[in-house]
Amino acid sequence: MKQVKDAGLRAVAIGAGVIVLAAVVIGVFRFQPHAILQGALPPSGPRVPIPTVDAATLVQGEAIYKREKCTACHTMTGVPIGGIPDLLHEGQRNADIAWQMSNLREHKRIHPNSDMGNYDKLPPDDLRALASYLATRE
C-alpha cells in the first residue's frame, strides 16, 4: 500500500515538474522575441565589469561627446534634467562597449519615440571611442 502511495506521489511530483518546466520554456520563447522586437535592449548592467580603455581613446571619446552635442540633452553632473539620463555613472549601468555602440547606432529602434537620434553616420573608430568613454564612466 505504501509503495502504491509513493508511486502516486512521485507521479504528481514529476507531473508538476514537467508543468513548471513547460511554463518556463514557453515563457522564454513567448516573451523573449517579443521583448527583442520591442527593442527592449536590457542594460548591460553589472554583469560586465567596467573595461580598461587607454587614455588616448578616452580623450578622443570625450571630444566626440562634445562635438556631437550630447551635452544638449545629457548632463554628466549626477543630476539629470528633464528625465534624460545623467551619464556621470553610465559605466555602472552599461559597461559593455558593444552595448553602448548599438545604443548609439540604433537608438531609435530601441526607443522609437526618443528625441535622441541614431548615431549611425559616425566612423566606426569614433563610435568605438565614444562608446568606450561612456562605458568607463564609473
Residue with cell 587614455: 55
Site for ligand HEC in 74-113 (CB under 6 A): 74, 84-85, 87, 90, 93-94, 103-104, 111
| Cα distance between residue 46 and residue 48, in whole Å | 5
Site for ligand HEC in 9-68 (CB under 6 A): 65, 68
The nearer residue to ligand HEC, 23 or 43, going by C-beta atoms, is: 43
The nearer residue to ligand HEC, 14 or 101, going by C-beta atoms, is: 101
Among residues 72, 112, 121, 123, the one that binds ligand HEC under rule CB under 6 A: 72
Those residues with Cβ within 8 angstroms of residue 89's Cβ, 6 or more apart along the chain or in another chain: 78, 137, 138
The nearer residue to ligand HEC, 1 or 79, going by C-beta atoms, is: 79
Is residue 130 a contact point for ligand HEC (CB under 6 A)?
A: yes
Of 123, 135, 53, 35, nearest to 95 by C-alpha is 135
The nearer residue to ligand HEC, 30 or 89, going by C-beta atoms, is: 89
96: which 3 cell numbers?
559593455
Q: How many residues does the chain have?
A: 138
Give the CB-side neighbour count of residue 95, counting CA atoms within 13 A: 14
The footprint of ligand HEC (CB under 6 A) covers 65, 68, 70, 72-74, 84-85, 87, 90, 93-94, 103-104, 111, 114-116, 119, 130, 134
